[in-house]
C-alpha cells in the first residue's frame, strides 16, 4: 500500500487552467498564421477564377471564329450589336461546265432547271465530315442580294444523291432537285451547306452588366436555324433549342464591316465575362472572304 501511494504522488498531469492557457496560445498562434496565409490563398483562388474565365471566353471566340471562316460568302448579317448570323459551309468545289471535257455539264439554260451535274474530282476522296450527302444544299454564286440570295433559296438546291461516278478520270455525279440557277459562277464554283446546320446564329441575351452577386447577367447562345430565313430587324428576344456557349456575360458586341467591293470583310467580336466581381474581356477579329 505504501509503495502504491508513493507512485501516485510522483505521477503528475496538467490542470484545467493549464489546458485553457494552451488553447488560448494555440488560438493566438493560429490567428497570426492565418493573417499571413490569407493573401496567398486568396491570390490562388483569384488566379484560378481568372484562368477559368479566360478559358471560357477564349474557347467561345475561337469557336465563333472557326464557324465564321466557313461561312458562305455574302451570308454574314447582323441585326444589332448583340447578334450575328451566317450560313455555314462544309466544302466547296467546281462543277463541270465544259462540254468538250465529257461528263454531265450543269446547264443554266434549261427552263425546268438541271437535276444533275459532274463535280470535278471525287466526293469519296474528301474527309468523311466534308463529303456531300443527301440533304445538303448546293449554292452557286451567292451575292446576298435579291435574285442571288441563299437565305431566300434563290440559288440553292437540295442534294438527292452524290454516290455515283462517271468518266475517266472519275468524277462524282451530284444529283439535285431540279433547279434553274439564276447566275453562273465565273470560276465554276459551288458551295455546300450541310443538312444539319443551314443557318447558325450567335446571340447574347441579358448582357446588360453585373448583378448584386458580382456575376454577369447575360448568356451567349448558339442557335441552329433552317432555310429559307427572312432577315430580322432586331436581335431575337428569345431563343429555342439553342446551345449555351457562355454564361455570366456582362457585355458582348459583334461588329460586321464589309468592304466597298464586298470581296473582303471584317467581323470583330468583344466578349466580357464577370464572375464574383472578376472580369475578363477578350477582343477577336476574323477576316472574311466574300468572293462567291
Q: For 43-88, what is each residue's pLDDT tens digit?
A: 767 778 778 888 888 889 999 999 999 999 999 999 999 999 999 9
How confident is the prediction for the chain on average, in pLDDT? 88
Q: What CA–CA distances, in Å, run from 207 to 82, 211, 271?
A: 9, 11, 10
| 145 contact partners, CB below 8 Å, separation of at least 6 | 74
| 35 contact partners, CB below 8 Å, separation of at least 6 | none
Q: pLDDT tens across 25-49, in order?
A: 888 777 777 777 767 776 767 778 7
Longest distance between any two alpha carbons in the chain, whole Å: 128
Q: pLDDT tens across 128-157, in order?
A: 999 999 999 999 999 999 999 999 999 999
Rounded CA-CA distance 73/62 in Å is 20
What's the residue count for the chain?
A: 292
Confidence of residue 205 (pLDDT cuts 50, 70, 90): very high
Residue 32 confidence (pLDDT): 75
Cell 464574383 belongs to which residue? 276
Environment class of residue 164 by beta-carbon count within 10 Å: exposed (0-12), middle (13-18) or buried (19+)? Answer: middle
Environment class of residue 92 by beta-carbon count within 10 Å: exposed (0-12), middle (13-18) or buried (19+)? Answer: middle
**Res 159 pLDDT > 80:** yes
By C-alpha distance, which of 249, 205, 202, 208 is closest to 223?
202
Q: What CA–CA distances, in Å, run from 166 to 56, 137, 239, 246, 282?
A: 48, 21, 45, 48, 50
pTM score, two decimals?
Answer: 0.83
Query: Exposure string (b/e) for 239-270, b if CB count within 10 Å is 16 or more?
Result: beebeebbebbbbbebebebeeeeeebebebb
**Res 2 pLDDT > 70:** no
Environment class of residue 147 by beta-carbon count within 10 Å: exposed (0-12), middle (13-18) or buried (19+)? Answer: exposed
Rounded CA-CA distance 287/267 in Å is 7
- Are the beta carbons of 66 and 157 closer than 8 angstroms? no
SS3 category, 166: strand
Amino acid at each position: 500500500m505504501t509503495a502504491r501511494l508513493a507512485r501516485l504522488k510522483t505521477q503528475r498531469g496538467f490542470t484545467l487552467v493549464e489546458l485553457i492557457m494552451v488553447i488560448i496560445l494555440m488560438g493566438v498562434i493560429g490567428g497570426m498564421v492565418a493573417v499571413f496565409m490569407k493573401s496567398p490563398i486568396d491570390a490562388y483562388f483569384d488566379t484560378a477564377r481568372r484562368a477559368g474565365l479566360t478559358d471560357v471566353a477564349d474557347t467561345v471566340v475561337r469557336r465563333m471564329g472557326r464557324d465564321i471562316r466557313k461561312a458562305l460568302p455574302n451570308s454574314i448579317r447582323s441585326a444589332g450589336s448583340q447578334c450575328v448570323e451566317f450560313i455555314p459551309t462544309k466544302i466547296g468545289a467546281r462543277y463541270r461546265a465544259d462540254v468538250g471535257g465529257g461528263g454531265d455539264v450543269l446547264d443554266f439554260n434549261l427552263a425546268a432547271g438541271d437535276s444533275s451535274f459532274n463535280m470535278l474530282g471525287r466526293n469519296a476522296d474528301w474527309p468523311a465530315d466534308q463529303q456531300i450527302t443527301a440533304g445538303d444544299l448546293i449554292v452557286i454564286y451567292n451575292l446576298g442580294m435579291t435574285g442571288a440570295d441563299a437565305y431566300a433559296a434563290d440559288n440553292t438546291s437540295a442534294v438527292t444523291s452524290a454516290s455515283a461516278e462517271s468518266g475517266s478520270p472519275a468524277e462524282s455525279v451530284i444529283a439535285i432537285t431540279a433547279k434553274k440557277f439564276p447566275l453562273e459562277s465565273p470560276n465554276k464554283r459551288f458551295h455546300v451547306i450541310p443538312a444539319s446546320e443551314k443557318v447558325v446564329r450567335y446571340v447574347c441575351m441579358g448582357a446588360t452588366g453585373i448583378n448584386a452577386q458580382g456575376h454577369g447577367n447575360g448568356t451567349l447562345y448558339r442557335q441552329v436555324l433552317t432555310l429559307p430565313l427572312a432577315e430580322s430587324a432586331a436581335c431575337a428576344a428569345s431563343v429555342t433549342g439553342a446551345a449555351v456557349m457562355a454564361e455570366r456575360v456582362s457585355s458582348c458586341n459583334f461588329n460586321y464591316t464589309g468592304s466597298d467591293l464586298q470581296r473582303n470583310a471584317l467581323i470583330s467580336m468583344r466578349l466580357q465575362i464577370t464572375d464574383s466581381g472578376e472580369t475578363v474581356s477578350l477582343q477577336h477579329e476574323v477576316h472574311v472572304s466574300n468572293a462567291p
